[in-house]
Structure 1
């Protein structure tokens, strides 16, 4: 086991790499990284384990769902579209996890250069994430029923059952989060370096994580805390950017309302559309430095765990940053 704590020693290198890639400002680099951030940023929260609180055949309000009601077809169509979009974003996001690593380790920021080459690995990563999450949800249900049913059978109050159930559910959620985080942070680069699948990537990763569990635990905890701190900073910057965009649009809307009255509705819709078109890329650009830093950080920690998988150790000047 190494005497140094990798979670701490990798910070300076991540800052240096991030500054080297993003400054001086290049619009093309930032915009391409913003597109990558769009696809990889929200995938981790894509699973909602509490979508059916009242069981099958009932909506959240407790009212029965009429499958043959006039609006049911539209509802099912909407659900289908949402699922297809989630599938699309999930698969593309998984491929971009590999493309992101390629961009940062070569210095050549391109959306298409390695996209086709990494599509097979991205699809395997997506399937692994989905299957693992489903297996853990199934395990959670079994554990919860195993605890809940015996407690209820002896007439214990619901509060006691919840006191027992909540920690068990949280533990399983923590396990899901840790495994998926380590898969993205360590297994993805290992798959690139070793040209292997997800399972073999995990075998390689466990070979250097198991002997150094202290550093592995320190990384998980510190990465979680670092994510919270940087997330709050990004949120504040995003709110400031949103306010800067919103203020002139709101001012125009107020003037239009005074001048046109009810006839200003089309103006409101136009201003809303302009606000969305301007805000989305700006908010994505805000998170680019944070996403880039965190990825460089995890790659730096990986290189300290195992020099064999140090993807940042490349000859000076080997890979130009594209504009």
Structure 2
């Protein structure tokens, strides 16, 4: 008997083509919004952090060495900011706001996972309807992700601290170089292992447990128990899926990287061609600065949106692949029955609306099954 994990690759391609072609701008741009939350178009905030050559004041001076005051200039010590009660309140409020925004973003990302799966099953991207209907399971998913992450990395920290105490004693201030080196050499493989385990658990949760929650209206832990039963019944299918999905991930990463680089050239070169004449003719003036700001801001927005659109077909294909495999190994967990029947009957070439008597793609760039 052929493995679904092998056969479903082509079916996932046909399902992706069925949903996204002919081009319907409504579906594409709504799925691009989904990509923003499911990780395809994100960025790392740490990339904006800058560090000085030495820890301390960030001026590049070694610790303990202060700059000499300039003759006639102010005393450097007089320029040290004072931590006033007002500044302290502002800093606390800013941190609380940043934490609140981060948590809301993570909750929204968890809810969008359900929106993505439900959209693929319905072959229509209805953001408002699917979002409001999945807030509760999305919050449960967020709590599960947070709890597992804290458990894994919290356990890692406790394990390293225990090893450090055994090697270097207590308190940690008396640890010598040998204790620190032992922690580094032990911590690197432990960190890699913890990251792998966490990624595997959260990845399986996203690809298999989320549709299980949708199919049978379960909570996260109940859906995990249900999925583990599937793994016990079909271990070869799941193992083959993991291997093929890993290979597909590498190929998709290379393809999206190449397309993103090409997009950067396509967007960046015209912006540069506009910027250079402005600098040469107007110079660094308020007018020139305004023009450059507008040009590069527009280029940045265009690049960001286009990079999300690039991710749409690739991420749709990968999610269809997982959903098709899950529905094959357990028919009760099939959340894409319409797509499955279509691609295995005619390759999904002509999605057809029986009630309207028209093709799903009407050729004018809109999608009648989408959100209005």
Q: TM-score, normalised by structure 1?
A: 0.85
Distance 1:218 1:45 in 2: 31
171 and 242 in structure 1: CA distance in 2 versus 1, 3 angstrom threshold: same
Kindly indicate whether residue 304 of structure 2 is the aligned counterpart of residue 280 of structure 1: yes
RMSD of aligned C-alpha atoms?
3.0
Aligned to 2:234, the other structure's residue is in SS state helix
Kindly indicate whether residue 334 of structure 2 is the aligned counterpart of residue 310 of structure 1: yes
Q: Output one character per residue of 1:66-103: Cα deviation in whole Å (capped at 9) or x when no partner.
A: 99368665554443333222222211111111111111
Distance 2:45 2:289 in 1: 37
Between stretches 182-191 and 159-168, larger displacement belongs to 159-168
Q: 1:141 aligns with which of 157, 162, 185?
A: 157
Gaps of 5+ in 1: 52-59
CA contact (8 A) 1:98 1:188 kept: yes
Q: Aligned-pair distance for 1:5?
A: 4.5
Gaps of 5+ in 2: 58-62, 64-80, 170-174, 343-351, 355-359, 361-366
Kindly indicate whether residue 316 of structure 2 is the aligned counterpart of residue 292 of structure 1: yes
Whichever of the two has the greater Rg, that structure is 2
**Structure-1 residue corresponding to 2:39:** 41
Distance 2:92 2:112 in 1: 30
25 and 8 in structure 1: CA distance in 2 versus 1, 3 angstrom threshold: same
**Structure-1 residue corresponding to 2:74:** none
Q: 1:28 aligns with which of 22, 26, 29?
A: 26
Q: TM-score, normalised by structure 2?
A: 0.75
**Structure-1 residue corresponding to 2:9:** 11
Q: 1:251-290 counterparts in 2 under 5 A?
A: 251-263=273-285, 264-290=288-314
Aligned to 1:261, the other structure's residue is in SS state coil
Q: 1:1-323 counterparts in 2 under 5 A?
A: 4-41=2-39, 61=55, 68=83, 75-152=91-168, 156=178, 158-263=180-285, 264-314=288-338, 316=342, 317=352, 322=369
CA contact (8 A) 2:5 2:240 kept: yes
Q: Say how many residue pairs are matched.
A: 310
CA contact (8 A) 1:6 1:301 kept: yes
Aligned to 1:108, the other structure's residue is in SS state coil
Distance 2:165 2:179 in 1: 12
Distance 1:208 1:224 in 2: 20
Distance 1:236 1:114 in 2: 33
227 and 148 in structure 1: CA distance in 2 versus 1, 3 angstrom threshold: farther
